[in-house]
Structures are given as C-alpha cells and as structure tokens.
A and B are shown apart, each in its own frame.
Chain A
C-alpha cells in the first residue's frame, strides 16, 4: 500500500503541473493546437489513475484549458471525484473546475448533492466556504431544493465568513427554487442587522437584487432600510440601499418625500463620487414619482442638475458619462431644467469618446425645438459623414430620425428639408436602417399632403438612380428605401412630371436582383404608373405614347413572371394579362384610361400601429364560447387534442357553451343598442369621423414653391443645407415683418406700454414654411386606451413575485434533509426538468409529499416554539417602561412586526409621520408647536426639509403610541375572553386589524353588514325602482342618476317612459330636439322578474342645497290576454351627499388644507351610536362618499370633495356611544346639509 502511494507520488513528479503546461503552450506558439491535444491525452491518462493528487493536478490543468476555449465537460465525473477529496487543496481545485464548467445541463451534478451537503456542514469553515462558492455557480433547481434548508442553517453560522456567503447564495437558491423565498425571508431580514458589516452588506445586496425585480413586495422593509441608510457608513451598503429606494419610490410617493431630505444631506456631505451620483439618481427617481405640485421640488431639481453639470464638466470622462446618463433621466420629466444646459450637451457631441457622444445624443432628443432642429440635425449630419464605425453611424441615423419624427413631427417646420435629409441618409453605406428611412418617407408622404409633389419628385430621382443604392452588395440594408420610393411614386403618381421615365426606371432588368418584397411593390406600382400614363394621354386618338407604354410593360413584365418569389410572380402575371388585354382594346381605339384608373382609386390612410389590438371586444361577445355545439362529452378529448394544442388548451378549458336562440340574441342586440345610445359613458361613433381625412384637402394648402434646379439633377449632392439657409432667411424676413407690424402698433399705442419682447423669438413665433396638415393615424372607434405590455414570460424573477408579508403556512417549510431514493434520474429527464422548472415540481411531487410528511411533524414543533417565542416577545414589548419611548424607526427594527396588517399599517404610520430622521432630529424652539397640535389628528408631516422639529410632537407621538399599545392589549384581552365564551365562533385573532383602516386600503377584518347605496324611489305592484346618484370630477354641473327597474309582476313591462319635472336648478338632460317636458324612453323592456338599470343625466347648477324633483314613470303592462297602461309617481331626492365624490387625500395635503384657514367649521354630535368605530367610518365612507385620511385609535380624519370642488373635511371622534364630528368646508350651507344627512343615516340604524 505504502509502496503504491510512493509510486503514485513519484509518478506525479514527472507529470506536468499547471505551470509546466502554461510554459509548454508558450513554447509551442506555432503548433499550439497540436501541443494541447497531446496534453489532453496525457491528462486523460492521469485521470485514470487512482491517486487523487494526480487527478487534482489534471483537473487543474483542465480548468486552464477551459479558459482557452476547450470543452472539458467530458471530465465532469473526474471533477466530482476531486471535489469529494477530503483534502482542502484538492477539494478547492475540484470546486473551481466545477464552477467553471458545470451548468444545469451537466448530468453528474445530481451526484454532488450529498457531497455538497457534507461539505456545507464540515467543521472546517473553508471547506464550507469553498462549497458555497462553487455551488453559487452551478446551483440547479434540484440542488436548490435539496440544499435550501442546509444553507438557511448556515445563515446563522458562528463565523461571519460563512454567514455572508450563505446569505449571498440564498439569492441563487431563490432564483432556482422560488418556494424557498418565503420560509427563508425572515432570517434574511434578520441579517440586515447582523453585527458583522460584511454579512449586513451581503443581506442588503440580496434583498436589493430581489426588490429590484418585484419592488412592491419589499415596500414594508422601507423603514428598516431607511434606518440603515441613516446609520450606515459603508458606502457599498449605502449605494445599494439608495439604489433600492430608487426602485421603491415609484410605488409609494410618500416614501419619496421622506427620502428627499436625507438624500440631499448626503449629496451635500459626501465626498465619494459614486455615492453622490447614486443619491442624485435616486432623488431624480423620487422627483419623477412625485407629481410636480410640490413647491420645493424645483430646488431639488436645481440641485441635481447643478451637481450633474459639475460632473459633466469634470475632466474625468467617467463622471462626464454618468452625468449625461443621469441627465437623460431628468429630461423625461423636467425637460426645461435640462434645456438650459444645451451648450454643455452640444459640446459633448464633439467629444472624442464614443460612449459620451452616444449619451449626449440621447439628450439631444429633448433639446430640439422648432428653432434649432435644422441646426442640430445639420451638426449630426456632419457627424454622420465623419463617423468611422458603423454602429455609431447607425446610432446617429436613428437619432436623427427620432429627433425629427418625435411627437408627430412637431418640430419640423419644413418638410422639404426633412425629405432631403432622408434622401441624403440613403447615401450611407452599409447601414442596417434602410427600413427606418423607408418608413419615414412613407409616413411623411402619406401624412403631409402638401409635400407629396416634392416627395414624389425626390423618389423618382431615387428610383432613377437605384443602381447607386444597389450596386454594392454591402448596401443591402439601404435598398429598403426603394420599397418606399416605388410605392410613393406609384400611389401619388399624379404628381409625377414624367411618369413614363419613372415607369421605365422601375422596369429595368436590374430590378430583378432586389429582394422579393421590393420587387412585388415595383410591379404593383408599375401598374399604377401605367394607369397614370394612360390617363395623361386620354383623349388623344391613337396615342402613340399610350401604346408604347403598354408595349414596354408587355416586354418587361415577363422577367418578373419568372421570379422565384410567389408574390412577384402572381402580381406580374396578373398585370401582364391585364396589360395585354388593354393593348387589344387600345388597338381597337377603345377608351380605357378611365377603367384602368378605377383599379387604383381611393386613398389609403395611415393606421395607428396598435389599432388592431385596440379594437374593443363588443359587449356580449364571448370569444371563448363555442360557435357550434361542442363535440359530445363522451368523446375522449383528453388525449389527442391535448397533444396537438398543448399550449392553447388552458384558454379553451374555461369556455362554456351558451345556448341562446336567435330571437333572444336579436332581442339582446336591440337592448344593447338602446342601452349604448342612452349610456352617457358610452363613447359613440361620431358620424363625422371620416371628415377628418377628407375636409382639409389639397386645395386648401398653398402651393409649395419647389426649387428643383439643383437638387433634382445631381442626386448625390447634399441639399439640406440649402434649406437651412432658406429657412434662416425666411425667418429673418418674417421677423422683420413682424417687427414692422409691432412698430406700427407701438406707434399707435405710443406711451401706453413698452412690453414688446426684443429677446429671442419664442417657439410659437416660428411659423412653418408652408401650411402642413399632418394626418393623424386611424384608430378603431372606441379604441381601448390602455395597452398592457406583456412582460417577458421567461424571466426567472417572475417566479419570485411572492408576497412576503403573509404568515408562513405549514406546507411552505423547506424540505429538510432526507434520503432521496429518486436522486438518480435519467439524464434526459433531468434535462427536461431544467428547461421547465414547473415540471420538476409535478414530477417530483411524490417525493415532495414524502418530504413534507416528514417535515410536518418537525415543523409543527417548531411552530409551537415560535409561537411561544412570539408571545414572550410581545410581553416584553408591552411591559416596556413607557418613559423609554423610542422613535418609531428604532422600535420597528427592535420588534419584528407580528402580523401582516400590523406591518402594513406600521409602514403607513412610518410614512405619514414626520420625515425627519432620528439622526437629524434637532431640538429647537417650539415655534411650530401650535401648528403641529392643531393637526395632530392628521399627524401633520411637514414636508419642508428645514422645518425645525420640537419636542412636543415627539410627545404626542409617544402618547399615541401608548394608546395604541394599550388598545392592543385591551383588544387581545377582549378577544381572549370572547374565545373562551364562543368557542365555535370564527374569530380573527388579528390584533393589527383594527389599525388597518387607514386610507381605506386594507381590507376589513370584521365583516361589515351589507350596505347598498341604492335607495327606494317608488314601488307599486308591478314595478320597483331604486336609484343612486353619482357625480364625477370631469363635469362640475352633471350628475348621473342610475335607476334599477325591477319587474315584480308576472307580466311583460314595456314602453317605459321616464319623466321628471325640471326645476330651475336641476334639469333632466334630454336628447337634442326634445322638448323640455318630453319624457325619456327607458331603453329596455322587462320580462317578468327581471331587473335592469338605466342611467339618466341631470344638469345641476347649485349644489349647496338638497333638492327633490317630482317625476313619473309610465309603462305598459302586457299579459297574455290584455295590456294596460300604468303610471307611477316618484320623487327624486338629490341629497348634498350625492354631489360629493370619494377623493383620496394624503395626510400632508389634508393638513395644509386645514391650515389654510379658508374653511368654515361646524360640528355634530351623535348619541347612542352602538357600533364599532370602523363600521361607523365605513358607513360614512360608503353612504357619504368620504375617504379616511388618517385614523388613530378612536379618532379619524376624513375627506371628500364635491363635484364643484368644495373640500369637505371631517374629524370623527368616538367615546362611549357618543360620536362627535367636527367638520370644515368652504361652503357652510353645503356642510350643514351634509352633516344633516349624516345624522339621518345614523338615526336610521
């Protein structure tokens, strides 16, 4: 035995090690490949030996060869062998090799599970570390599932070295095995406050990475991160957190407000550029997420822009680059502030660094105006000429087109110029963007009618010089332009000067070398041109020209008939036959021009790109329903069809077949039509929609003077510059004229005002060179405004979109170490499972169940323990001395929130409380105390960053805390009692439920009694009417009354007519032409027992008083034998409440509103109210259209707005069955009436 070892190690001495291999390769520069192949043979021999040292050496060399591009996967098994060596030296080599060449498709990976598990639990921390590092590179869904629990344990390892690695690798585990996220998350969260900064940083890293993809699930961690941000000094951690906040702010504007101040402080204080830059970035994100209504935002924007300017001006190119990058983010929302730095950005366009030029290009997009567009584009065109690489040139090209075409060609004043630019761009060699230019040409020619003449002339020149574009095979991309050119010349051929010449150009034999789709357009448009030529020579008897044209086509078209492209072939042969026929007619001297032109009559209008997608599905059309009877159930539909339509299957599975006879369908259609006609919210097809395209015809447009002398004759010459000059001259002329006029005016008004602006001309002053009429794109009627962009369904992060706040369920515990007999799957199966992780679940369902069963016992025990633990914690919390009140943030961190809703409301509370971080809190003179107390109910947050914070609000906060706690305790006790008494009752043991009413966003825990807004209008034995009145913000003088008609009789009700006696103040809106006393037909009939809703629009003038309108409903009752005419009177009660609209209001805005002093107060007391407070609030919200702004204990602030913009604020307090409501509104009588109505609501119950 000993001899063998000695022999092995002596062998080894003669083996090459890595250094020898490298040296050898360097010495064989000429025949490297050959040398390496002999080395690989040697390695194969070495791998066959038993000696692990030899094997490890071989594997080490393989790792090197892998870097050189050699596939070493054949040695995967040997790598596993080396990995399982007991020696750290070899193990490390093995894991390194594995991390370099293993991937999910490597089948030996499944052999490693137990080895890795062993290494993870090794007493040597470096064994564990090496295993973790390796695993992080090749973890598979199977490994992740099997090892998740082990890794989770390591997160609490004693050594920080292991902890931080375990924390980091969890991210990879989550990605591969999303089910592990929820069970592991609490521990991960704990690690955010690990004493070791490395571990903390790792945890921040992982959570940031998770949150970046699914930010909304991590919003509740905001307070914790906020605390870290204000306390951490590690720039890495700070950068990550600040980046994370950048991702969170779009979801929660209040968070942004809280962030601005500490971030601004950091911007001012930090010396680290990286940190400064990220702060600026996040501030920008905050400002984007906030509406620009806040006054002090301009200061922040200014700060950002100013800091960025410093970066851009820096000599360090990196800072310059980043400055421009961040600038482009501001550009989207605050273009004005960026525009003032135009000089700087234009300067960057000339930078020698391509990255910087590209960034500057991005910014240009927002820099252009009508005034400078031509100038900027000219500059870009110069760059295009100079550009060396094609990528940069293509980028320039797309940018030019982007800039010019943005917002519907808004900045283009001279389309002739634009067309010339496009034509110039076609001279670019080897660009990929031929289609882009082509589509622009088409777009402009179609939509700008005035330019067609010019465009056609240019396109004809292009076609004539097509050889310039197609001559070189490298220029393939650009020949797309010919597609556009041919189409434009054909479609608008009436503008052609010499259609015959163009026709000739389009039928040259060389055309046959173009791509098929272009040839097809050529052929089709040749026919259009043919028609034009015929028409030109219409009337001339025995026109030689017309017959020559026919002959030309007959001669040239056969070339296309032979085309391999089906489309070309079909069109060509079709047109060829047509022309032959026409020729015959011509020879008989028959007038054909008219008929041929008719073939291409009509105009094509542009269609919006997503028009098809936006066609709404008509009401009542069920796309999933069967058209015919479904195949009989007995047929085995589970086998064959599934195999074929595997993907579509789920969609159809829901389909239900509706059996409706035709009569019923017809009736429904009728009903629907009437309903639509009556529904004020239904956007009707306007009969004049076609006018848009027809009315402003070409006649109205002043004829454009085309300067054809130079540009048309020399196709390659740049001519856009000419336009620039012309434009400048034209503008100067206009300006001069305008000045003259002004002077005249001035003379008239002499001495009155001297306001004339002699400064630079403003945007509006620049008139386009000629009247352009940009035709809008067609959209289907009733197009849906929203279009949801589908996310990439393959994104692995999608699976991680998991609610982390929900309490853990039993079934979610991680699988604990068990022996897995199925571990040896066939490789094929294994491969399947990687490609579709979902499938793995199904397949391994059995084993999972086993695991779970085993787990369950354990987890139950754990749970019990946890419960106990929790209780202890709670007790601790509650018994805390009340004097030692900490700030909200620290408390949050110290006590892990007990439940979801508590957490949610804690977040709300944190967000709504004052934005000053504890670190920055200063105790100064109590100047704002009064204000703070005044709005204490709303927890008035001051948004001014420099607002001094005094001690008093601090106190109120703490007292609130106390109350909250006491209340929680009380409730717990009560609930416990209740539990004892009614054990069978279902109870929600959620202590936080009470607090969750804030903003009305969180669901109520206790069930509310059913409520309905509909109140009875009138009723008799035939019919019952209930109604509801709603207003909307769009129209301050209209409310909609929805009336539900219910047929109570056994007869058919029809011809229902609804009429109301108008008052001066409120009027029923009747269709045009109807008299003031005419009644409205209810747009449906009611079969027995059926109810339906109709809506009527009323116009109102004053809304401060309630009003009653008398009305009548007449209808015909039709039974089998007879029909009678019936009548029902009613009174429509327009309460003041019905003019209120539920409007959410943030607490700070609310506080400002109250402070403004514009509101007048009033109050109300309700005695003997015997209902839970949240029921009370819910009732006010529901019946009177209020929303809760903030709620603290038994006190809540509420807000609503009238359709005419009156603010109504309530402060509702309750104690011992007494409810007091303090109200404020800017219209006292409205307020009085609303309060009366609230009183009535509660007197009813």
Chain B
C-alpha cells in the first residue's frame, strides 16, 4: 500500500499532497516538513530509499523518492510494495506529466494542481497502483479532458 504521495520543491513548498490515510491538516503539514527535512539533506548520488519518517506508519514504512530539477516526488509505502517498482512508478508518473503538460516544469504543477491530481488518480487509487502503462494513463486523461471541454462548449453554446 502507498500511504502518501508528496510533491514539494527544493524549498519544501508543497506542490501536491495526497494522503491515503487520514491525517488532520496540521499533521499533514508536519509530515511534509519532516519528509522535506529528511529528503533535502541527502545528496543526489545516494540511494532513493530512506527509513526513519517517524510520523507516518513506523518501522514498516519507507520513503521512496526521486528528485527532478526543482521537485521532489516522495512516495511513502509499506513493505508490500517493491522498492524498485515504486521508483519505476514515479518515473512513469513524471513521464506522464511530461506528456500531458508538454515539457512539464514546476510552474505547471503550481498552477494546475487539480490536473496533476486527475492524472495521479489514473495511476494510483486509494493507495494501490491502478495502472502502470503510460499510454493507457494518457489516453484516459485525454478522454476526460475532452469530455470537460465538450461540457464547457455546450455551456457556452447555451448563451448563444
């Protein structure tokens, strides 16, 4: 199970948070801070796994993260997930973002948090991996976007 997915930048500003277990807002912020603290002091050439997050879970949980330019993508998972598998999944997720936003950068995530959520929803659902095939994910996201556009169009048409 994936317990939480956090995306924040090099300064610890959250860009997307997705908890699959309930935490109150202040606790969520604390977790983000702690995770940022743990992750940010690590060099880029050390391993991508780390233990010791005291706030989520406990000994069974692990942080698996990847650092892309200005952003950290952190997945908090338990022992039923394969470590390398999750690393691959982060890669898939980021590549999908790249496809959907066309050369994704931090600004895309800042201004379109909702869209990032919708994409993530096609990858992970309720803490379990839903789809790992990038083409399938992109196709579903695009279909939904198209639906949204058609709804906006009919809405606008109603005025004319």
Interface residues of A (CB under 8 A from B): 5-6, 9, 18-19, 22-23, 26, 53, 60, 63-64, 66-71, 87-89, 92-93, 96, 100, 103-105, 124, 126, 132-133, 136-137, 161, 164-165, 168-169, 171-172, 198, 201-202, 205-206, 208-209, 212, 235-236, 239, 243, 273-274, 277-278, 317-318, 320-322, 352-356, 358, 391
Identify the 4 closest CB pairs spanning chains A and B, nearest first.
A136-B126, A274-B84, A317-B47, A103-B22
- B43 proximity list for chain A (CB < 8 A): 352-353
B126 — nearest CB in chain A belongs to which residue?
A: A136
- On chain B, the residues within 8 Å of A18 by CB distance are 111-114
B102 at interface, CB cutoff 8 A:
no
**A135, chain B: closest CB distance, angstroms:** 8
Q: Which of B29, B128, B151 has the most CB of A within 10 A?
A: B128
CA distance A88 to B150 in the complex (A): 10
**Nearest B-chain residue to A63, judged by Cβ:** B114
Do residues A209 and B128 form an inter-chain contact, with CB atoms below 8 A?
yes
**Also in contact, A171 and B111, with CB within 8 A (given A70-B25, A277-B84):** no
Bound together, the chains give a CA A60 to CA B111 distance in angstroms of 12
B17 close to A (CB within 8 Å): yes
Docked-complex contact A60 and B29, CB < 8 angstroms: no
Most buried by A among B82, B85, B131: B82
A243 touches B129 (CB 8 A): no
CB of A277 within 8 A of CB of B82, answer: yes
- Closest B residue to A324 by beta carbon equals B47
For A26, A64, A69, A172, the residue with the greatest tally of chain B CB atoms inside 10 Å of its CB is: A69
Establish whether residues B51 and A355, one from each chain, have CB atoms under 8 Å apart when the complex forms.
yes
* Closest partner residue, chain A, to B43 (CB atom): A352
Residues A278 and B82 in contact, CB atoms below 8 Å apart: yes
Q: Which residues of A contact B12 (CB under 8 A)?
A: none
CA distance A51 to B153 in the complex (A): 17
A137 with B20: CB separation less than 8 A: yes
Q: Given A70-B25, A136-B125, A168-B130, A88–B147 Cβ distance below 8 Å? A: yes
Chain A contacts for B130, CB-based, 8 A:
164-165, 168, 198, 202
Contact status A274-B144, CB under 8 Å: no
Taking A126-B147, A198-B133 as given, write out 5 further A-B residue pairs in contact, using a Cβ cutoff of 8 Å, ordered by the A residue number. A69-B29, A87-B151, A88-B147, A88-B148, A171-B128
Q: Are B52 and A391 in contact (CB under 8 A)?
A: yes
In contact, A209 and B121 (Cβ under 8 angstroms): no
Chain A residues contacting B133 (CB-CB under 8 Å) are 198
A-B contacts, 29 of them at CB < 8 A, read: A6-B159, A22-B111, A53-B155, A69-B28, A92-B118, A92-B144, A96-B114, A96-B117, A104-B22, A136-B126, A136-B127, A165-B125, A168-B125, A168-B130, A198-B131, A198-B136, A205-B129, A209-B128, A236-B129, A239-B85, A274-B85, A317-B47, A317-B48, A318-B48, A318-B84, A318-B87, A353-B47, A354-B46, A355-B49
| A810 to B1 CA separation, bound complex (whole angstroms) | 33
Bound: A320/B45 CA distance, A: 12
Kindly list chain A residues whose C-beta atoms are within 8 Å of the C-beta of B1: 209
B88 adjacent to chain A (CB < 8 Å): yes
B104: chain A residues at CB < 8 Å are none
Residue pairs across A and B with CB atoms within 8 Å: the count is 150
Tell me, in angstroms, the Cα distance from A448 to B129 when the chains sit together: 55
Residue B40 lies at the interface, judged by CB distance under 8 Å to chain A: no
A71 B152 Cβ-Cβ under 8 A: no
Please indicate the chain A residues that have their CB under 8 angstroms from the CB of B28 in the complex.
Answer: 69
Asked, given contacts A198-B131, A209-B128, A274-B82, whether A352 binds B29 with beta carbons under 8 Å apart, the answer is no
CB contacts (< 8 Å) of A136 on chain B: these are 125-127
> Given the complex of chains A and B, what is the CA–CA distance between A371 and B130 in angstroms?
52
Within 8 Å of chain A (Cβ to Cβ): is B140? yes
Q: Which residues of B contact A355 (CB under 8 A)?
A: 46-47, 49-51
Pairwise interchain contact A60-B51, C-beta atoms closer than 8 A: no
Q: A96-B118, A161-B140 are in contact. Are A171 and B45 (CB under 8 A)?
A: no
Q: How far is the CA of A609 from the CA of B111 in the complex (A)?
A: 58
Q: Name A235's closest neighbour in chain B (CB-CB).
A: B85
B16 to chain A, nearest CB (A): 7
Chain B residues within an 8 Å CB radius of A105: 22
Asked if residues A208 and B114 are in contact (CB atoms below 8 Å), the reply is no
Q: Are B113 and A63 in contact (CB under 8 A)?
A: yes
Nearest to B156 among chain A residues (CB) is: A9
Chain B hits for A202, CB < 8 A: 128, 130
- The answer to whether B80 touches A317, judged by C-beta atoms less than 8 angstroms apart, is no
Contact A236 B132 (CB under 8 A): yes
* Chain B residues within 8 Å of A96, by CB: 114, 117-118, 121
Q: Which residues in B have their C-beta under 8 angstroms from that of A93? A: 114
A133 touches B125 (CB 8 A): yes
Contacts of B52 in A (CB 8 A): 391
B14 nearest in chain A by CB position = A67
- Within 8 Å CB of B110, what residues of A? 22, 26
Distance of B144 from chain A, by nearest CB (Å): 5
Binary per-residue interface labels of chain B (131-151) against chain A in the complex, 1 for a CB within 8 Å, 0 otherwise: 111001000100110011001
B20, B25, B80, B143: the one contacting A66 at CB < 8 Å is B25
A126 to B140 alpha-carbon distance, docked (Å): 9
Which of B85, B113, B126 is the one whose CB lies under 8 Å from A64?
B113
Q: Is B95 an interface residue (CB 8 A)?
A: no
Chain A residues with CB under 8 Å of B143's CB are 126
Which B-chain residue is minimally distant from A237 (CB atoms)? B132
Docked-complex contact B111 and A67, CB < 8 angstroms:
no
In the complex, which residues of chain B have a beta carbon less than 8 angstroms from the beta carbon of A60? 114
The answer for the CA separation of A89 and B152 in the assembled complex, in Å, is: 8
CA distance A202 to B128 in the complex (A): 8
A205 touches B159 (CB 8 A): no
Residue from B47, B83, B118 whose CB has the most chain A CB atoms within 10 Å: B47
Name B4-43 residues within 8 Å CB distance of A. 14, 16-18, 20, 22, 24-26, 28-29, 42-43
CA distance A651 to B105 in the complex (A): 62
Q: In the complex the two chains form, is B128's CB within 8 Å of A206's CB?
A: yes
A318 and B83: CB pair below 8 A?
yes
Q: Which residues of A contact B155 (CB under 8 A)?
A: 53, 87
Least CB distance, A985 to chain B, in whole angstroms: 49
| Most chain B beta carbons < 10 A, residue from A6, A206, A274, A358 | A274
Given contacts A126-B144, A198-B133, contact A172 B126 (CB under 8 A): yes
The answer to whether B84 touches A322 (Cβ under 8 A) is yes
B48, B82, B128: the one contacting A239 at CB < 8 Å is B82
Which of B14, B88, B136 contacts A68, CB < 8 Å? B14
For A87, the chain B residues whose CB sits under 8 A away are 151, 155
Q: How far is the CA of A19 from the CA of B108 in the complex (A)?
A: 10
Complex Cα distance, B158 from A168, in Å, reads 39
Contact of A71 with B126 in the complex, beta carbons under 8 Å: no
Q: Which residue of B lies closest to A26 (CB)?
A: B110
Residues of B within 8 A of A208 (CB): 80
* A320 CA / B49 CA spacing, docked (Å): 11
Docked pose: A165 CA to B43 CA in angstroms: 38
A274-B89 Cα distance, complex, nearest whole Å:
12
Contact A321 B47 (CB under 8 A): yes
Q: Which residues of A contact B88 (CB under 8 A)?
A: 274
* Bound form: Cα–Cα A274–B28 in Å: 31
Residues of A within 8 A of B84 (CB): 273-274, 277, 318, 322
B114: nearest chain-A partner, CB-CB: A60
Chain A, Cβ-Cβ closest to B32: A69
With A126-B147, A209-B128 already in contact, the answer to whether A236 and B85 are too (CB < 8 A) is: yes
Distance in angstroms between the alpha carbons of A67 and B127 in the assembled complex: 18
Contact partner, B80, options A88, A126, A243, Cβ 8 Å: A243
Q: Is the CB of A209 within 8 A of B80?
A: yes
Residues of the A chain whose Cβ atoms lie less than 8 Å from the Cβ of B25? 66, 69-71
Q: Pick the contact of A88 from B14, B87, B114, B151 — CB < 8 Å? A: B151
Complex CA gap A1046/B151 in Å reads 91
Contact for B126 among A53, A92, A168, CB less than 8 A: A168
| A residues less than 8 Å from B20 (CB atoms) | 137
A1157 to B159: give the CA distance in the assembly, Å: 95
List the A residue with the shortest CB-CB distance to B28. Answer: A69
Q: Which residues of chain B are near A66, meaning CB under 8 Å?
A: 25
With both beta carbons as reference points, the residue of chain B lying nearest to A388 in the complex is identified as: B41
Q: Give complex CA distance A910, B5 in Å.
A: 41
